[in-house]
């Protein structure tokens, strides 16, 4: 698994998908740049989401709100007061950690210990092994799991009460040490706000404090009435938006999974109060269907229903994905009640209501939100598509089996040799196809090597132009996944590519 993750990272760099930010200056931690192929893949994921949300649903419209917003927005949304991570410093090493992560890692170790015991027993008992019974009766396993449960619930409790002294007490009681130096000399736990601050205006006196938005959702809420009135939207309806968000994450690890600058794809669906559970279930189902439609493997997804809810929610679930480092949150579906619109009403003094002609009533709508990180989706697509395949003849090939609809390059056009007017014919084919598809010309190296290069870059189709092509207007089409080849007429190419890469 760890090797797979390393492969994904190095493959992403080698094939122009992802580079570290400002690498020539040794990079900036938890910030990344998307290369020539990455920019295409990212755009295609965004388009795939946008089409399925906005184009396919008559009652969902798009929005592109600014990253900078009036500072009161973040007071109203609760981000100024509550968007915090609990931090702790080690006095000896001067290293800074997220206190909750330290405790969670400790709990994770207890789980691993329990799993080790279970595996040992499985080996000992063989086929006769009954895991459920073993877990229920083995004292050691019961102790590990019980202690883990207790630690996690005490942690969750003190975090919801924001009682950080209890988190510190937990760290001391468990004798948790600095993972790097082993020192147990900790400071108090402090709240650290995750929003990036910046200044508007030039002079020190007249400038005002702003934040870079930590989520795109608030741009939708403050525009609720603008869109509803000018678009004559009737409830239920949705507003969708994609765009950058910024969080000053402390534990920045796991590549593009947790970044300081990232992109979100969010949709807020406004419904009648009382109808929210129906729509919450509806959007859970729609969103998992969207994921399944990409065929990354159903077994890679699972739902995680939240028991402890954020201050604005009355129901919440994550769609988790099996990343190379295990199942982790990819998307959130939240029933946000009328919390946001009401808070903005209070802070702005403006009405954010809907007159429902059927009920003959004015109300603040309830909201179901679907929120997915574009970069996390990118990582899900990339890591589940990278495959090392052993072929029939025993040789192996690296192939990036991206869903064709998302692939950066749809087809590579390859002249068999660099002479005899083959490059000219290949170029002519490109000039016809490029209006509809992202296609690429490649004439360097032997044809077999070019196929392998395109396999590794994720290109679903290769089109080879040879000497016969000059005579009869046919070319060879090679499919990335099956490696099958067939001879087709040049004028059929449009239909063949279209069929392969369609939405």
- Provide the binding-site residues for ligand ATP, judged by CB under 6 A: 215, 247, 249, 258-259, 262, 264, 329-332, 371-373, 375-376
The answer to whether 371 is a known ligand-binding residue is yes
| Closer to ligand ATP by Cβ: residue 332 or 365 | 332
Percentage helix, strand, coil for the chain under 3-state DSSP, each rounded to 5: 45, 25, 30
**Is 370 marked as a binding-site residue?**
yes
Report whether 117 belongs to an annotated binding site: no
CB of 332 to ligand ATP, least distance (A): 4
Q: Rounded to the nearest whole angstrom, what is the least distance from the CB of residue 78 to ligand ATP in the complex?
A: 12
Give the whole-angstrom CA distance, residue 403 versus residue 501. 8
What minimum distance in Å lies between the beta carbon of 152 and ligand ATP?
15
Torsion region of 496: left, alpha or beta (phi above 0 gives left; psi -120 to 50 gives alpha):
alpha
Residue with smaller CB distance to ligand ATP, 220 or 462? 220
Q: Which is nearer to ligand ATP, 169 or 251 (CB)?
A: 251
249 annotated among ligand-binding-site residues: yes
CB of 334 to ligand ATP, least distance (A): 7
Least spacing, CB of residue 295 vs ligand ATP, in Å: 20
355 known member of a binding site:
no
Q: Is 375 annotated as a binding residue?
A: yes
Of 371 and 459, the one with the shorter C-beta distance to ligand ATP is 371
d(CA 227, CA 220): 9
Known binder of ligand: residue 215? yes
Nearer to ligand ATP, 53 or 457 (CB): 53
CB of 314 to ligand ATP, least distance (A): 15
- For residues 40 and 375, which CB has a smaller minimum distance to ligand ATP in the complex? 375
Contacts of 44 (CB under 8 A, 6+ apart): 405, 406, 407, 408
450 is in an annotated binding site: no
Closest CA to 241 of 211, 264, 223: 264
The three-point CA angle 256-244-68 to 5° equals 145
Chain centroid offset of residue 386 CA = 17
Return the sign of the alpha-carbon dihedral for residues 49, 50, 55, 61: positive
DSSP 93: T
As measured in angstroms, the least distance from the Cβ of 140 to ligand ATP is: 32
Q: Which is nearer to ligand ATP, 259 or 433 (CB)?
A: 259
Least separation in angstroms between residue 369's CB and ligand ATP is: 9
From residue 261, alpha-carbon distances to 113, 213, 230, 342 in Å are 36, 10, 32, 29
> Does the annotation flag 329 for ligand binding?
yes
Residue 373 in marked binding region: yes
Burial of residue 96, with CB atoms counted within 10 A of its CB: 0-12 exposed, 13-18 middle, 19 or more buried: middle
178-186 long-range contacts, Cβ below 8 Å, gap at least 24? 178/90, 178/92, 178/93, 178/95, 178/97, 179/102, 179/105, 180/93, 180/95, 181/90, 181/92, 181/93, 181/95, 183/90, 183/91, 183/92, 183/93, 185/90, 185/91, 185/92, 186/88, 186/89, 186/90, 186/91
Of 327 and 441, nearer to ligand ATP (C-beta) is 327
Query: Annotated binding site for ATP: which residue ranges?
Result: 247-249, 257-262, 329-330, 373-376
- The binding site for substrate comprises 98, 215, 262-266, 369-373
Q: Binding site residues, as ranges?
A: 98, 215, 247-249, 257-266, 329-330, 369-376
């Amino acid at each position: 698994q760890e090797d797979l993750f390393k492969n994904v990272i190095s493959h992403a760099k080698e094939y122009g998908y992802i580079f570290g930010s400002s690498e020539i200056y040794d990079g900036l931690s938890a910030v990344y740049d998307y290369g020539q192929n990455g920019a295409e893949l990212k755009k295609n994921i965004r388009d795939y989401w946008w089409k399925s949300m906005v184009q396919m649903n008559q009652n969902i419209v798009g929005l592109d709100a600014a990253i900078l917003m009036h500072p009161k927005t973040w007071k109203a949304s609760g981000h100024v007061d509550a968007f915090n991570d609990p931090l702790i410093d080690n006095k000896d090493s001067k290293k800074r950690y997220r206190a909750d992560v330290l405790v969670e890692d400790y709990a994770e170790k207890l789980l691993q210990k329990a799993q080790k015991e279970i595996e040992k027993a499985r080996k000992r008992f063989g086929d006769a092994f009954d895991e459920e019974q073993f877990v229920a009766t083995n004292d050691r396993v019961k102790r590990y799991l019980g202690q883990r449960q207790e630690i996690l619930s005490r942690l969750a409790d003190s975090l919801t009460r924001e009682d950080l002294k209890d988190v510190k007490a937990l760290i001391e009681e468990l004798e948790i040490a600095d993972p790097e130096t082993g020192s147990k000399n900790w400071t108090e736990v402090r709240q650290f706000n995750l929003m990036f601050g910046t200044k508007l205006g030039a002079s020190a006196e007249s400038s005002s404090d702003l934040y870079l938005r930590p989520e795109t959702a608030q741009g939708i809420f403050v525009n609720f009435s603008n869109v509803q009135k000018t678009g004559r939207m009737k409830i239920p309806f949705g507003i969708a938006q994609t765009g950058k968000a910024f969080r000053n994450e402390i534990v920045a690890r796991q590549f593009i999974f947790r970044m300081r600058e990232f992109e979100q794809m969010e949709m807020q669906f406004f419904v009648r109060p009382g109808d929210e559970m129906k729509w919450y279930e509806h959007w859970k189902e729609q969103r998992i269907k969207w994921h399944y439609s990409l065929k990354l493997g159903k077994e890679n997804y699972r739902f995680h229903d939240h028991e402890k809810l954020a201050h604005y929610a009355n129901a919440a679930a994550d769609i988790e994905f099996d990343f190379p480092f295990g199942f982790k949150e990819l998307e959130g579906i939240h029933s946000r009640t009328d919390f946001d619109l009401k808070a903005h009403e209070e802070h702005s003094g403006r009405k954010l209501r809907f007159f429902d002609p059927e009920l003959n009533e004015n109300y603040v709508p309830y909201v179901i939100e679907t929120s997915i990180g574009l970069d996390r989706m990118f990582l899900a697509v990339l890591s589940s598509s990278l495959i090392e395949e052993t072929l029939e003849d025993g040789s192996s090939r690296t192939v990036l089996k991206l869903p064709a609809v998302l692939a950066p390059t749809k087809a590579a056009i390859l002249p068999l040799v660099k002479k005899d007017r083959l490059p000219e014919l290949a170029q002519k084919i490109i000039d016809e196809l490029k209006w509809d598809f992202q296609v690429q010309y490649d004439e360097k190296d032997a044809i077999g090597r070019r196929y392998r290069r395109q396999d590794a870059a994720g290109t679903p189709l290769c089109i080879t132009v040879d000497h016969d092509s000059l005579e009869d207007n046919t070319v060879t089409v090679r499919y990335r996944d099956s490696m099958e080849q067939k001879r087709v007429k040049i004028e059929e190419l449009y239909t063949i590519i279209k069929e392969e890469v369609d939405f």
